[in-house]
Structure 1
Amino acid sequence: MRLPRFVREHPCALLGLFALLYGAFQVLRILHVERMTTGGEISLPLDDSFIYLQYARAIAEGHPFIYTPGNAPTTGATSLLWPFLLAPPHFLRLGPHAAIAWSLTLCAAALWLSAQLMARLGHMLAGTLGMLLAFLLFLRSPHLLWGYMTGMEIALYATVLLGSLLLYLREREGGVFPRLRWMLFLLAASRPEGAILSGVFGIAMILDRRRAARTGAVASWFHPALLLPFVAAALPFLVNLAVSGSIESTSSQAKSILAEPHPDVRRQFLLDSPKVWLSILQAYLSWLQLEPGMVMVPRYWIPSAVALALFALTSFVPRRRPWADGRVILLLFPAAILVDSLPVAWPVHLYRYQQGFYPVVLLGLAAGVARAATVAWTRLPRAAGIPAAALVLAGPLWAWSPIFTEAYDQVPEFYGQNCENILHQQVTVGRWIARSLPRDAVVAMNDAGAIAYYGNRSTVDLIGLTTEGFAKAYRSGIGCMFEKLRRLPPRRLPTHFAIYPEWFPYLQASGVLGPEIYRAHLVHNTISGEADKVVYPARWTDVIHADSLALPHPEIAGARRRDRLDLAWLDDEKAHAWVAYGYEFDERRSRWRDRPSVILRDVLRQYTPGGGRPVTDAGRKVFAWERFRVSVEPGKDAVLIARTDAWYANRLTVRVDGAAAGLWTVARSETAWVEPSFRIPGTFLHRPDAGIEIQREDPKDGGDWAPFHYWIYQ
């Protein structure tokens, strides 16, 4: 039977029409289930989606990059381009529902466009069969349906990546790339991963240009336009630098292993990176369907591994190949795995950090299967070729069929539950704040999206995504975050907290939080960090005076304070060159390691000294020894005073500029601050910035010395 002429001449257009109808049906289906689940209201399935909407609103209000009034410019929107695309409803002041609807419309349009791009790429890489397979695998991927419809930048990044790949395949033979070199700027602006992949495309373009120069297609292998992909790769980092003074975005500061402030933790992350790379590869091979413990499903990963191996093999053999050269995917794949491994919580939210590149993985699967089936059909005798091609095609599709059916059919219900969670927790809290708190309230929070978007109040993002300077403080510990908080200017000091109490274990016990005034509880939590989001008033009366001595000290009568070091305040620690060392415990060998390393741990306490007002202070746990510098008057006796909770009794050796100045004994305290002092003879003080070292007698006893403050008097 002869196919109609339109079908033969315009197969991609026909698939585009089908994708439009099919995509519209699926989108309407999940939105219907969402409204049934939420009680009739539309929302988004991730709180981070509202971060983009808030940045979009800031653009419309004329202060891009300033998340809420009072904040400094930040780059918490991981994608530079996505907030600008979300801005139109905010320019028109249409309200949250219109903004959400616009976001979902963009996502649905990207879903349709990506399906067409997958079909065209599949056709170029593996003919008609590759076109149909790529189209099918994309449209029946449950994770991509969910990811594209989250309102996040996943849809933008994946679509622009597919478009870039299509332009590369079309332009590589000529070695000129007139459109790709500009498309890569969009790719870099869509996500930081896109910037890295722009550089990979740039390398591939140079190689293709050299090949074209050898064949005489171009006059010279070098052209200034070859530098544009690398300019595009630098674009988001230059924007970060211009906006916030750092090439690293605030979202990266809050999430990346490279920004981990604890050296021992960062070192372990980096040592474990090969395991993470392997886990991401396993996730891709298993269709993002790993069992608990990162265990691959054999039914999924075996045919996937074979398909990708066939794609790689047929990218080099046979010598004359009827399909486009897609070897650039073999360069993009490891680069994508590497950059996708940088977030500490890389598998979060259905592997959302991996979803943007996942269509390219599906393209490789489709091309591998289609090429093998085509070779079997065309190269083997008909009697063997037909069943071989059928087996090559049907085997993987049968193995993957539960993904296309069972897993895919679960997406609408799961998506609806996610939206219900966000609506009845973060959105509900935001609306309560909008109607219940004063206009000048400053709300400290740990979910920065819907609470800020609906609350319409100035905010402090405790995690640091949208508030400058808090990412490092939060990741350094609750005590460091507390010290950062309490030093905010009075107009920026939080008046209320909207947090998960479980995320801030010391904060409630410190006395900073007042009695609970509102709680949003989830009965069935599928996506939020915790089941309960709680609002507290802030109480700062007992923490403002924490910089002063709390107990009487007759030993410093008539002396003048020369310097002070506030532990856990990162700026003060840096100014005094403070650092602490310890010995890590080797769990596998059940013994302490022999070599010391920098170990930074914080603590937050509130005690009432001498029957007065309670004092809340943050400090550090020193497991072996610490070093810092203080300002002194050389040659004059000094008194060093420490504030500590004295959780453990300690015998401390004090050294000044390397010379042993004596033994400092600190008895254990039960439930109170103590402020022991140590006299340093003036003969040890030879320079105005004296180096102090305090070393525990037994650094491997499992205990610690916990200084919260140091004062030095002369």
Structure 2
Amino acid sequence: MSRAPRIRLLLWHASAAIPILGAAAAFYGPALSRTGGVWPAPLDDVYIHFGFARAAALGHPLSWIPGNGYSSGGTSLTYPLALAPGYLLGFRGPWLGLFAALLACAALLDLCRSLRRLLEPRGGPGAAASRWVAWVAPLFVVAVPLLDWSWFSGMEVALLGAVMGRALVAVRRVELAPPARRPAEQLRAGLLAALLVATRPEAVALAAPLAVAAAHAAGSLGAAASLARASLPTALLLGAHAAANRALTGEWGAAGAVRKLILSNPYPTPLEKAVEVIKNLAALRVQALESALGGPSFALLLPLLGVIAALDRRSRRLAVPLLIGAYGSLLLVALNTTARYQNLRYAAPSVAMLLVAAALGAEALARRGRLAAGVAAALSFAALAAPSAGFARQIDHFARASANIAGQHVEVARRLGARAPRPRRVLLGDAGAIPYLSGIPAIDGLGLGGYRGMPFARASVHGVPAVVELIERLDAAERPDVFALYPSWWGGLADVFGRRVDAVKIEDNVMCAADEKVIYEADWAALAPPGERRDGAVDEVDIADLVDERAHRYAFPSPRGGWVIGATLPGGAGGDGAPRFDAGRLIPEGREQSFALGAAAAIARGPAVLALRTDGGGPIALGVAVDRAAGGEVRVEVPERPADRWSEIRVPLRDVAPGDRIRIRSLLGTFRSFHVWLLRP
């Protein structure tokens, strides 16, 4: 390379670094002053990534905490691996955030380099008129304050941007490669598309059309083989991840999908779920793709430039996937119950895709001649300047959110770490900073952290008492001895099994789920010892214990039924036994629950007694039937029961056998079903 091109390249890199570093300083500076010197993290989820990174650095990849086992709850497979070298280099505690910031700046510069390769003129008419677009490409990257908030948050968004840029360049290389090199370039594009999905799951909305675009550029190559090379890496990644989830957690989906997707909630009707998705879409469109881009009028400019790119012969192979990816990923994240919160961070990839498509559109338009280049410059200036009014608000929000995380989560971690004696294990809810900074092992009650394959994520969707049922399965020495929870999130756990000993309250809360996080000492005396079995029982179903329900193929009435409940009441005929916790489900009138008896040798075919645990309430009537047996449904009248103790309903069965399915229907009133035993007569 001669001296002049080298100088030009050096100047371009400087021109790209200046806006990136300037934007980083604009966000980190005020945030550092608010956090008192703790490296700013505006989301506690950042520390979840740090936990996965630390575990990977210590030789436990795909674990949140060493010893907890496999976790599918990380939102990114690749980002913790990118952070792990920082931990090994000595960036420990909150200072791993500094390494994440350096990584973000490097990733954004890499994205700008990819854009430069895509936007540089390839000769022909109009090449000179479009040369300026490559120089302003870095402005497209940092022009939207809402996106900058996510770029510099410490999350995986900046890494996603870098991978996206490289995937786009790979597809362009397929276009330009000679036939002999094209298969290798298609495979390269396919691998980078898979890396996109590994970095952020909803990026599949971009990866899929990019694979089609790479196959479309096959030229003389076979279409089927080309599509296989471009799409098979993503398909294999998704299949392998699903298979690992199934084998290690019992779920095909990742814990984040189980916990957060609207479709995972068993209680609402399909119409109610659709309404929630529409609400999310409306909020994302208005706040992320309208207000954040400068308002209703200016927000149309980026899509307009993207459409121009899609209509251009040279750029459409990249622009069309970017537009599909932007709106497709937005549709996917609208399925997330938290899509409207956390400063719309789930919409950040969509905004990034629109900005890249707009840059391609500006170059395509500028290539049409001087007049068109002027129009492209005017549209680009308006599109990039319009969001600038939001910089002050986003910078301030970043600083305040970082202060919230430092003031609450980081402080709770400090207090727990200083407790004597040192806590054995802390129960928390999707809180990353607490175990990462305190070094205390933890169980995430919401399930994103994973714990030895137990279905905490699914249980947390069903209800808090279902989470307690899983804790009941743990040995006493394994159960958490302290909680760090929001009381409003954990009614029936914190107030029943905990004693409040400390709390951290923050002012000006803009990010935490509540302004006060409470520390409790645990008392699990009301839980049954693990493996406890009732005398004379040949089988039992612990309702709302998801492990037991799965083993018995239990089915509850859904939607609008089967809600999980919990109670702690004395046992014994006179209610004089020790209080015992049990979770159960509400079976509305006219609905039924059912389960299959185990295939254990202890269940001999013949007569048996079905014992049903319930609590107090007015008279009800149940219908009990064994699918295989003749005689139909047996009606059982249940009188009013006292509210201060457990009650038991006994139903004689004439003939049962291993594997029989038993149905219990509520004929009158709502049945509060907690436990079922099959007893010898």
| CA shift for structure 1 position 150 | 1.1
Aligned position for 1:48: 45
Aligned position for 1:294: none
| CA shift for structure 1 position 472 | 1.1
C-alpha deviations, 1:541-598, integer Å up to 9, x for none? 1222699899xxxxxxxx93332221101122223332222675xxxxxxxxxxxxxx
1:251 to 251, 256, 260: 256
Residues 47 and 422 in structure 1, CA contact (< 8 A), matched pair in contact too: yes
| CA shift for structure 1 position 618 | 0.6
2:103 to 84, 89, 106: 106
Residues 643 and 709 in structure 1, CA contact (< 8 A), matched pair in contact too: yes
Residues 416 and 423 in structure 2, CA contact (< 8 A), matched pair in contact too: no
Matched, 1:449 2:454: no
Could you say what secondary structure the match of 1:87 adopts?
helix
Cα separation, partners in 2 of 1:614 and 1:196, compared to 1, 3 Å: same
Residue type at the aligned position of 2:254 = S
Aligned position for 2:678: 712
| CA shift for structure 1 position 147 | 0.6
Residues 622 and 664 in structure 2, CA contact (< 8 A), matched pair in contact too: yes
Q: Distance in 2 between matches of 1:582 and 1:248?
A: 20
Q: Distance in 1 between matches of 2:240 and 2:653?
A: 52
Residue type at the aligned position of 2:436 = Y
Matched, 1:534 2:518: yes
Cα separation, partners in 2 of 1:334 and 1:575, compared to 1, 3 Å: same
Q: Distance in 2 between matches of 1:452 and 1:145?
A: 28
Structure 2 unmatched runs, 5+: 123-128
Cα separation, partners in 2 of 1:441 and 1:649, compared to 1, 3 Å: same
| CA shift for structure 1 position 532 | 1.1
Of stretches 229-238 and 520-529 in structure 1, the one that deviates more from structure 2 is 229-238
Cα separation, partners in 2 of 1:377 and 1:674, compared to 1, 3 Å: same
Could you say what secondary structure the match of 2:477 adopts?
helix
1:621 to 586, 604, 617: 586
C-alpha deviations, 1:621-676, integer Å up to 9, x for none? 1112222234654443x433222123453222233337445432334446323423
Aligned position for 1:293: none
What are the residue-to-residue correspondences of 1:638-653 with 2, within 5 Å? Answer: 638-653=608-623
What are the residue-to-residue correspondences of 1:408-427 with 2, within 5 Å? Answer: 408-427=391-410
1:238 to 240, 265, 269: 240
Of stretches 474-483 and 605-614 in structure 1, the one that deviates more from structure 2 is 605-614
Matched, 1:22 2:19: yes
Aligned position for 1:600: 562
Aligned position for 2:497: 512
Cα separation, partners in 2 of 1:7 and 1:475, compared to 1, 3 Å: farther
Cα separation, partners in 2 of 1:358 and 1:436, compared to 1, 3 Å: same
Aligned position for 1:593: none
Aligned position for 1:595: none
Q: Distance in 1 between matches of 2:99 and 2:416?
A: 25
Residues 426 and 447 in structure 1, CA contact (< 8 A), matched pair in contact too: no
What are the residue-to-residue correspondences of 1:279-318 with 2, within 5 Å? Answer: 280=284, 285-286=289-290, 288=292, 297-312=295-310, 314-315=311-312
C-alpha deviations, 1:385-415, integer Å up to 9, x for none? x9xx55x7546754764521x2012232211
Residue type at the aligned position of 1:512 = F
Aligned position for 1:594: none
What are the residue-to-residue correspondences of 1:239-388 with 2, within 5 Å? Answer: 239=241, 241-242=243-244, 245=248, 248-257=253-262, 260=264, 262=266, 264=268, 268-269=272-273, 280=284, 285-286=289-290, 288=292, 297-312=295-310, 314-315=311-312, 326-368=319-361, 371-372=364-365, 375=368, 377-378=370-371
C-alpha deviations, 1:88-144, integer Å up to 9, x for none? 232244532432211111112223332343444344699335445643232221022
Residues 66 and 74 in structure 1, CA contact (< 8 A), matched pair in contact too: yes
Residue type at the aligned position of 1:298 = P
Cα separation, partners in 2 of 1:537 and 1:520, compared to 1, 3 Å: same
Residues 240 and 249 in structure 1, CA contact (< 8 A), matched pair in contact too: yes
Q: Distance in 1 between matches of 2:344 and 2:173?
A: 31
C-alpha deviations, 1:40-90, integer Å up to 9, x for none? 332311111111111221122222223224312223322222112212232
Count of matched residue pairs: 650
Could you say what secondary structure the match of 1:14 adopts?
helix
Q: Distance in 2 between matches of 1:285 and 1:86?
A: 30
Residues 27 and 152 in structure 2, CA contact (< 8 A), matched pair in contact too: no
Matched, 1:168 2:135: no
Q: Distance in 2 between matches of 1:371 and 1:79?
A: 34
Matched, 1:88 2:60: no
Residue type at the aligned position of 1:535 = I
Structure 1 unmatched runs, 5+: 291-296, 380-385, 551-558, 585-598
Residues 465 and 471 in structure 1, CA contact (< 8 A), matched pair in contact too: yes
Cα separation, partners in 2 of 1:340 and 1:237, compared to 1, 3 Å: farther
Q: Distance in 2 between matches of 1:519 and 1:205?
A: 55
Could you say what secondary structure the match of 1:492 adopts?
coil
TM-score by length of 2: 0.85
Q: Distance in 2 between matches of 1:160 and 1:399?
A: 24
RMSD: 3.5
Cα separation, partners in 2 of 1:91 and 1:142, compared to 1, 3 Å: same
Matched, 1:497 2:506: no
Residues 448 and 466 in structure 1, CA contact (< 8 A), matched pair in contact too: no
| CA shift for structure 1 position 315 | 3.0
Residues 564 and 585 in structure 2, CA contact (< 8 A), matched pair in contact too: yes
Aligned position for 1:556: none
Q: Distance in 1 between matches of 2:242 and 2:288?
A: 30
Of stretches 573-582 and 451-460 in structure 1, the one that deviates more from structure 2 is 573-582
What are the residue-to-residue correspondences of 1:539-578 with 2, within 5 Å? Answer: 539-544=523-528, 560-578=536-554
Q: Distance in 2 between matches of 1:242 and 1:310?
A: 42
Kindly, what percent of the aligned residue pairs are identical?
24
Residues 471 and 479 in structure 2, CA contact (< 8 A), matched pair in contact too: yes
Q: Distance in 1 between matches of 2:207 and 2:101?
A: 27
C-alpha deviations, 1:261-308, integer Å up to 9, x for none? 517557753686577567655555416469xxxxxx423434445444
Residue type at the aligned position of 1:152 = M
Of stretches 230-239 and 70-79 in structure 1, the one that deviates more from structure 2 is 230-239
Could you say what secondary structure the match of 1:43 adopts?
coil
| CA shift for structure 1 position 237 | 4.6
Aligned position for 1:692: 662
Residues 184 and 198 in structure 1, CA contact (< 8 A), matched pair in contact too: yes
Cα separation, partners in 2 of 1:677 and 1:360, compared to 1, 3 Å: closer
Matched, 1:159 2:177: no
Q: Distance in 2 between matches of 1:95 and 1:578?
A: 46
Cα separation, partners in 2 of 1:35 and 1:289, compared to 1, 3 Å: same
Could you say what secondary structure the match of 2:154 adopts?
coil
Q: Distance in 2 between matches of 1:420 and 1:112?
A: 28
Matched, 1:140 2:133: no
